[in-house]
Structure 1
Amino acid sequence: MKMQGILPALVTPFDKSGHVDGATLASIVEYQLNAGVSGFVALGSTGEYYALDDAERRLVMRTVKEVANGKGTLIANCNGASTREVIAQVRQAIECGFTNILLAPPFYALPSQEELIGHYQAVLDAFADINVILYNYPIRTNVEVGTSVLEAFRHHPRVVGIKESSGNLLRAIEIGENFKGDYQLSCGSDDQALDFFLWGATSWICGPANCFPDQVVAFQRAFAAGDIQGAQAVMRSLFPVLASMEQGKFIQKVKYGCELAGFNSGNARLPLLPLSEAEKAEFRAIFEASQR
């Protein structure tokens, strides 16, 4: 299983009644495929997985699977508050055709590093046919996927990578240097993407790719071709909009970006509130400047 290129962390569109909008999701997936992305991450943080029920999660995964039709790597985020819940989510993902699983630490329980190792091992023991991508996002889980966890699974054939979303570039450097060849490193801090690739990342699991896939694909292709200045130029044009997203209301801004790109993905679900008209105007100006 190769984690390469741009892997959009898909939004979950909602229609005017608040239901999952499979048709709009299919259009977004097709749009990104045409732009040249390498695969998709369904039900991630950007996809509001925490706000969906199981029937909605199945609809999302089956839509992505059907539209992608073997044209890229598919990854399902299967997080939960307990090991039992995570195992149930993984089983559901497998039933929908996903065998690459993104796993953050269980939230709220605050497991120790030893307990986190046991959690991941229990999931691996429950399924013989999955690949696991560790997901370090301590701002969401309040638990870091620490060095001891990375050491524990560095030679496990089915623990294939890590999405690093701590915002701490030193973590990416440490993984790229100390665990080179053991984990495929994926950028999960959008405003640090160029730095990640310089330190060995092979992919970017990218929420903003929902609304400007052409630019992020152009960045990755320039870097892969050895055109560092070209990659830097793309990132320079994107940095204001990425910085705006990182400053707050990330999901709402990605969804509004989808609207600006021609895909009405609806509002985020409560407790997240829609952008105000002033916030929309400010973001629209930054977004449109990034397209020039």
Structure 2
Amino acid sequence: MALFRGAGVALVTPFHADGSVNYDKLAELVEEQIAGGTDAIIACGTTGEAATMSEEEHMDVIRFIIKAVNHRIPVIAGTGSNCTATAIDLSKQSEEAGADGVLLVTPYYNKATQGGLIQHYEAVAGAISLPCILYNVPSRTGVTIQPETMAYLYQHVENIIGVKDATGNISMITKLMSLVDEDFLLFSGDDDQIVPLLSVGASGVISVLSNVAPRETHEICQKWFDGDIKGAREAQFKAYPLIKALFAEVNPIPVKAALNLMGKNVGSLRLPMTEATDSTKALLKDEMTKYGIL
């Protein structure tokens, strides 16, 4: 049930000046990502500003991306919610629209217990047949899927196939990988930890960096898979300063600024997200120039 191996882009959502979705630009971004070697597109995740979209908009963007990609690479729909019923509804609609899988963030704000997380994910996954990747990002949601909980869900729910891990906790990730089998899909949720997670069995990354450097992010993973450990490590080190710049402010503030610096014209952000500061833009310009993409 492997969805993809390598670097999947957590795609930004471009907006017009009035805040509406710029679908012409979104189509361009999809084509650029595919041409750049991206292994999968994640629609309406954190980087895509799904939290500021209505449910109707959310699904419109997912459907548009699925149609634009047209089966060339997998499309994984971000359909998680702090409301189980909403997550089920978005997941069902995404399955009907032709998504290849769903990404399910932990229910934010509610601070569910581990038992609550199990019941939530059993309900969502049980309502669809699509492969489900859970998203563990406690810095944003206030709740952590513990390794034992993740292993239980993987072992007892057929279409829960893995996790995007943005805990930054290598010890916890290593424990998780000791509890599951080799078919479990671990994706790094932090671009600065791609190689460290590959070393414990990850299948790749769901990446912010890929928005500005799709080929290079893919190559970090591919070098590792090809046995070029030194090359993968050097590529990770080379990208590190740019990755830090892309997180100089809360994601996706810097990556949208970076894309605009590249002339992509993806527009602004929706409140409560704000424009990057001048100092962040200057840092991005400097690091992107050093990296060779500006």
TM range (shorter): over 0.9
CA contact (8 A) 2:154 2:162 kept: no
Aligned length: 291
Change (3 A) 1:249 1:123: closer
CA contact (8 A) 2:151 2:176 kept: no
- Aligned position for 2:158: 157
| C-alpha separation in 2, matches of 1:278 and 1:82 | 38
- Aligned position for 1:139: 139
Give a deviation string over 1:15-35, Cα, whole Å, max 9, x none. Answer: 122110111111111111111
- Aligned position for 1:224: 225
- Aligned position for 1:27: 28
- Aligned position for 1:181: 182
Aligned-partner residue type, residue 133 of structure 1: I
- Aligned position for 1:148: 148
- Aligned position for 2:197: 196
Q: Once the two structures are aligned, what percentage of the paired residues are identical? A: 29
| C-alpha separation in 2, matches of 1:115 and 1:77 | 20
1:85-96 correspondence runs (5 A): 85-96=86-97
Q: After the TM superposition, which parts of structure 1 deviate over 6 Å for at least 4 consecutive aligned residues?
A: none
Q: State the SS of the aligned residue for 2:31.
A: helix
**Larger displacement relative to structure 2 (71-80 or 53-62):** 53-62
Aligned-partner residue type, residue 253 of structure 1: P
CA contact (8 A) 1:6 1:204 kept: yes
| C-alpha separation in 2, matches of 1:110 and 1:240 | 34
- Aligned position for 2:55: 54
Give a deviation string over 1:195-249, Cα, whole Å, max 9, x none. Answer: 1111111121001101111211221221111111111221122100111223423
Superposed displacement of residue 181, structure 1? 2.3
**Larger displacement relative to structure 2 (93-102 or 236-245):** 93-102
Q: State the SS of the aligned residue for 2:252.
A: helix
Superposed displacement of residue 96, structure 1? 2.3
| C-alpha separation in 1, matches of 2:166 and 2:220 | 19
- Aligned position for 1:36: 37
| C-alpha separation in 2, matches of 1:231 and 1:151 | 28
1:71-82 correspondence runs (5 A): 71-82=72-83
Superposed displacement of residue 174, structure 1? 2.0
Give a deviation string over 1:92-142, Cα, whole Å, max 9, x none. Answer: 222322241111221111110011101111112322x22111111111111
| C-alpha separation in 1, matches of 2:64 and 2:110 | 32
**Larger displacement relative to structure 2 (110-119 or 272-281):** 272-281
Aligned-partner residue type, residue 274 of structure 1: E
| C-alpha separation in 2, matches of 1:103 and 1:54 | 15
| C-alpha separation in 2, matches of 1:95 and 1:18 | 27
Change (3 A) 1:259 1:33: same
- Aligned position for 1:67: 68
| C-alpha separation in 2, matches of 1:61 and 1:124 | 18
- Aligned position for 1:109: 110
**Larger displacement relative to structure 2 (174-183 or 225-234):** 174-183
**Larger displacement relative to structure 2 (98-107 or 147-156):** 147-156
**Larger displacement relative to structure 2 (166-175 or 6-15):** 166-175
Task: State TM-score, norm by structure 2.
Answer: 0.94
Superposed displacement of residue 56, structure 1? 1.8
Q: What is the aligned-residue RMSD (CA, Å)? A: 1.6
CA contact (8 A) 2:148 2:176 kept: no
